Structure formats: C-alpha cells, structure tokens
Amino acid sequence: MLYTDPTPQNVLDYHGNNTLFMVWNFKDDVDVKAAFQRICALVINLNHSADVRFQDDSESCVMGIGHEAWLRLQLPEPLPKELENFAPVAGGKHTAVATRGDLHFHLRSFNNRGICYDMAAAISDVLAPVAVCVEEVHGFRYWDGRSILGFVDGTENPHGEKERAYFGLVGDSDPAYKGGSYLFVQKYIHDLKAFKALSLPEQEAVFGRHKASDVEMPDDVKPKNSHSAVANVGDDFKVIRDNMPFGNMGSNEMGTYFIAYASTFSTLKKMLNKMFIGEPEGNYDRLLDFSTAKTGSLFFVPTLDMLDDFS
C-alpha cells in the first residue's frame, strides 16, 4: 500500500537527557500476532498521550522490527529493500558481532525519566506473555553530550529538519516504505582503565578531536586510524546517531549504546567496514581497542501509518 503523505515515527527528534532501550525476542511456538497488533496500537497511543500530557517536553517511543520478526508476523512483501539479518563484520582484530533482535524500542524524554519507565512498563505488559526482553539499557546525558570516555558524541550528525529527514528517512527509492527508517544498534563496553591510562594527546589521537573544545583536528594532523577519520564515510553518506552513555559502577560495565537511524542500511555498512576492517585493510578504528561491541542488530522502523494498519 502506498501512503500519499506518510507520517514517520519520531526518529528525527534530538535525543533527550533520559533514554531507555529495549530489545525483545519472540518466544517459540506461541501465537504472536495478537500481541503485535496490540503493541502497534500502544506505540501510537503512547506518543499521542505524551504529546498531550507533556507539551513542553519531548517524550517519544520508537519501535523497530527485525527481519525474522517481519517474516514471522507476515508483514507486507516485498520487504523494505535493505532489511536483512545483520551479518558480522570481522576485521583482523575486532568484530562487529551480530545478535538477534525481533523488536527494538527507543524511549526518550528530555526531563522526565518517569515517563520512560511508564512506557517500558506498558510495553512489557503486552509483550511478556509472548516474548523475552534480552536487552534493557538505561541511558543518560553525560555533561555536555559526552560519552563516558569524555569526548563529545554525535558532532557530525545531520542538523536541521530537512537534512535530518534526507539522511534519516527512506525516500522515493522505495516508495512502499517511504518515511520509514533503518535502525541499527550496538551495545559497546569500554575499557575505561586502559583508556584513562593514555595521556591527553594520546586520547585525542584516538578520536582525532581535541577533548575540551570538541574541535576536529585538520586532516593532515589527525591519525589515519582515528575515530573521526575512519567513521566518516563522506558528506553524502550520513546517519542520525542517537548514542547514549550508560554505566553500572557495581559491575564495572560502562559503555555507549550506539543507535543510528538511516535512509539506507548500505550507509551503515560502509561505516562498519571502514571501522572494523579498514581502508586499506588493517587501518581499523583505533577506538575499537578500547570499545567492544557486544551486540549488533538491524531493524526497520515503519511509519505511523503502517503501524496503524498493522494494529
């Protein structure tokens, strides 16, 4: 079905101070369609309710659907052109692992952490009988938008509504899914002890940026394997990163939840290949020596119009 003026989910929003990420996998040998219909209606309801109740804030709930779940739920065919099971990207030293994910939820609020909790609770009430939550990460804004490693995250994001829509939403190349978005996530755990053992100039060389000012080093100065050099695949290939730091002092699990919305998954493939394999091969992202990807999953975020049909 073609939608004349599709309404995207809130993938273009700028991230808030509080986030909650959840990945759910359906149980085997259970009927999941009724619960999925309910969850589609719930996502719409949660967003409408937040718009009414918190007009001066920016709460939202975004749901993505994985490849295998799309097939199991018998959703429209042909599928979105680039929706697939993410395959690991293995370099000589580091690997972008692949992990199963049927449904992904991205819950956001600028100032009210409680609404994220309430949305997660409502989602869990619907899904718990038919699915298992395999990942739950509570993210928070760290100082002026920095990762736990101390460097500002997301400086190269597209800015402005028009640019963000161009890079974040599917366009006319796949008209049946126009307004949707590809969603890719990875949970990274950082070796803070090793990173903090580096001198400030050594840390800045890892990122290719100055730590305090967030100013990028000139191309003839920054190392070829620095994060800003390797993760940049050109001005014509951008994604909307909504990364958030998370941390648990008791378990010493500190990391970054990498989350990117894109009009094409091929853009993210280019980025991952450069980061993990390198161009030329072996010139991998130096940041990976201090950051280990523990998960990796691809989803498609349908428009609100499609969710309404699914419900």
Which of these is catalytic: 28, 31, 56, 153?
Answer: 153
Dihedral pair phi/psi, residue 253, rounded to 5°: -105, 100
Query: Cα–Cα distance between 181 and 23 in angstroms, integer?
Result: 17
Burial degree of 28 (CB within 10 A; 0-12, 13-18, 19+) = exposed
Other C-beta atoms closer than 10 Å to the C-beta of 14 total: 13
CB–CB of 286/275 below 8 Å?
A: no
Compute CA distances 203 → 149, 180, 227, 293, whole Å. 9, 37, 11, 20
Chain CA centroid to CA 200, Å: 29
DSSP E strand boundaries for 2-146: 18-26, 60-65, 89-90, 95-96, 103-109, 131-140
CB–CB of 261/302 below 8 Å?
A: no
Task: Match 């050109």 to its residue by tokens.
Answer: 234
For residue 288 the two structure tokens come to 């990976």
Going by their DSSP bridges, the two strands 18-26 and 131-140 should be labelled as: antiparallel
Query: Cα–Cα distance between 50 and 122 in angstroms, integer?
Result: 13
Count Cα atoms within 13 angstroms, Cβ side, for 91.
Answer: 24
289 as an active site residue: the answer is no
Query: Cα–Cα distance between 248 and 291 in angstroms, integer?
Result: 16
DSSP code, position 78 = S
Task: Match 């493939």 to its residue by tokens.
Answer: 269
Task: Give the active site residues.
Answer: 153
